[in-house]
């Protein structure tokens, strides 16, 4: 068990170092992302009644804005948060002790993110797998995500949701400026 945990942690660190050495192209990361998979060693992170379905990222100068679409007990809700710190290594800091680290991405099909937050004086870390598509998982990226999370303990594949579809449709209706 300890050897498996160690290999999972080392795998995550290795991928983070890989991403840090090749600067993240912030312009390429913007746009629609649908959550496909979630992995966490904390049961609370997987059983929340407010489930993230999709993100829409925009970048203005050095400010990353995340519009999140949630399914909250059958109703769609959105939240918009603006980063307080952005860097090209793929780390974004948000108010409320929240951080997002881009672990791996090909920009076109998938992204693997590590979400860190503090809640009730405890640190929580969740790995999330996203695709640009409303359908499918894009298997090469999904297998990378599975390898990174094999020893995490708890794992959940997100369901296709109408909230993600609504956010994607809003993206199509937007003017093309993403600068």
Residue 179: inside a domain? no
Both tokens assigned to 117: 């937050």
Both tokens assigned to 10: 């080392």
Rounded to whole angstroms, the maximal C-alpha distance in the chain is 50
Number of H helices, E strands in the chain: 5, 10
**pLDDT single digits (tens) 86-113:** 776 788 888 888 899 999 999 999 999 9
Q: Binning pLDDT at 50, 70 and 90, where does residue 174 land? A: low
The CATH number of residue 15's host domain is 2.40.128.20
Residue 147: inside a domain? yes
Residue 167: inside a domain? yes
Provide the β-strand partners of residue 113: 102, 128
Both tokens assigned to 97: 């002790």
Residue 66: inside a domain? yes
Residue 64: inside a domain? yes
Residue 178: inside a domain? no
59-63, 98-102, 145-149: least confidently modelled range: 59-63
Structural domain span for residue 85: 2-173
- Please determine, for residue 21, whether its predicted confidence score (pLDDT) is greater than 90: no
Phi, psi of 24, deg, nearest 5: -75, 135
Residue ranges of E strands in the chain? 31-40, 50-60, 63-72, 75-82, 85-86, 91-94, 98-105, 110-119, 122-131, 154-157
Q: Binning pLDDT at 50, 70 and 90, where does residue 19 land? A: very low
How confident is the model over 120-124, as a mean pLDDT?
A: 83
Q: What is the mean pLDDT of the chain?
A: 78
Total number of domains in the chain: 1
Residue 166: inside a domain? yes
């Amino acid at each position: 068990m300890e050897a498996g945990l160690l290999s999972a942690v080392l795998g995550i660190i290795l991928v983070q170092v890989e991403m840090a050495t090749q600067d993240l192209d912030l312009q390429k990361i913007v746009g629609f992302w649908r959550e496909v998979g979630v992995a966490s060693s904390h049961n609370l992170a997987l059983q929340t009644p407010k489930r993230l379905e999709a993100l829409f990222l925009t970048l203005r100068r050095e400010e990353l804005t995340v519009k999140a679409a949630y399914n909250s007990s059958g109703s769609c809700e959105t939240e918009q948060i603006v980063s307080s710190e952005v860097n090209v290594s793929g780390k974004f800091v948000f108010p409320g002790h929240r951080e997002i680290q881009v672990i791996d991405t090909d920009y076109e099909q998938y992204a693997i993110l590590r979400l860190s937050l503090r809640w009730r004086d405890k640190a929580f870390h969740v790995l999330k797998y996203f695709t640009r598509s409303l359908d499918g998982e894009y298997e090469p990226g999904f297998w990378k995500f599975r390898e990174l999370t094999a020893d995490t303990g708890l794992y959940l594949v997100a369901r296709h949701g109408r909230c993600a579809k609504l956010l994607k449709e809003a993206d199509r209706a937007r003017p093309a400026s993403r600068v």
